[in-house]
Structure 1
Amino acid sequence: MMFAATLLSLAAAASAVVLPRAWPSGDVTCGSNVYSLADVKAAVQNGVDHLDDPIGDNSYPHKYNNYEGLDLYCSGESDYNEFPILPSGLYDGGSPDTDRVVFSDNGVYCAVVTHTGASGNNFVSCEGD
């Protein structure tokens, strides 16, 4: 009986824990650009590294408002940033191109999004995200 009560209390505690978003399980495709998990992680880390020192004409990373209502799978997070992810390597302040990683203020990965295939200056989710 005591064992069952312990299991129930552990299960209740575990269900209250908010887990961060899992990284993509494989490649992420944004239009014709394909990014590996290592590319996504590197772009997020690059963005986190620049949170206090934004770069480029558009000051990346900057706030991501999610006006499109895309699914962002970073439970419990509320403040989002966008930062360029490039097929040619890490963003260094030049042209941001069309693709972005989205992450929370504390560096939790949320999504990969792109302007490719979206209307105007909107974003759509990338495949495999």
Structure 2
Amino acid sequence: MVALYGLPIIFSVVMVATLPAPLSDTLLLKLRQSDGATCGSHQYNNEDISNALNAGCNYLDEDETVGNDDYYNDYEGFDFSTSSPWYEFPILADHDIFDGSTSPGADRVIFNGNCQFTAVIMHTGASNDDFNECDF
């Protein structure tokens, strides 16, 4: 596994239709009551988040990853509501699904080993290669 910014990144090569990944009750309620997430100047709707989550989970299910860490390192002290290990997948400002042919950008969807949505985080406003949590 190859890490980018100290987090394992799962890259999508082939999109496979899947059912939406499970969400914790709290996160599901938060998503339903919001229009998505705002990461700095980027706005992601719930479909963008779901598409990135499903793409990342497809790679996790296929054991296809790139990165040099096995788990997301919680250096920023996030209080995630899901259990570890955590994984990340890029969510792109142009609303496309990341396929490895472009830069992953600064924003990530975080999910755990059970493919439960955990957070949307961003490099914007963070020092070094740290992350901040996006707003819902």
Please give the TM-score of this superposition, normalised by the length of structure 1. Answer: 0.73
State yes or no: 1:126 paired with 2:131: no
Distance in 1 separating the partners of 2:52 and 2:45? 11
User: Which stretch has the larger CA shift, 46-55 or 111-120?
Assistant: 46-55
**Deviations for 1:37-80, whole angstroms, at most 9, x for unmatched residues?**
1110110100001111125xx58xx6311110112122xx1210
- 4+ long deviations beyond 3 Å: none
Aligned residues with identical type, % of pairs: 40
Query: What displacement does 1:98 show?
Result: 0.1
**Cα RMSD, aligned residues only:** 2.1
Stretches of structure 2 lacking an aligned partner (at least 5 in a row): 1-22
> Residue 54 of structure 1 is aligned with which of 58, 65, 74?
65
AA partner of residue 28 (structure 1): A
Higher relative contact order (CA 8 A, sep 6+): 2
Query: Aligned runs of 1:21-100 on 2, under 5 Å?
Result: 21-23=26-28, 24=31, 25-51=34-60, 52-54=63-65, 58=67, 63-74=71-82, 77-88=83-94, 89-93=96-100, 94-100=102-108
* Residues matched between the structures, number: 105
Question: Radius of gyration: which is bigger?
Answer: 1
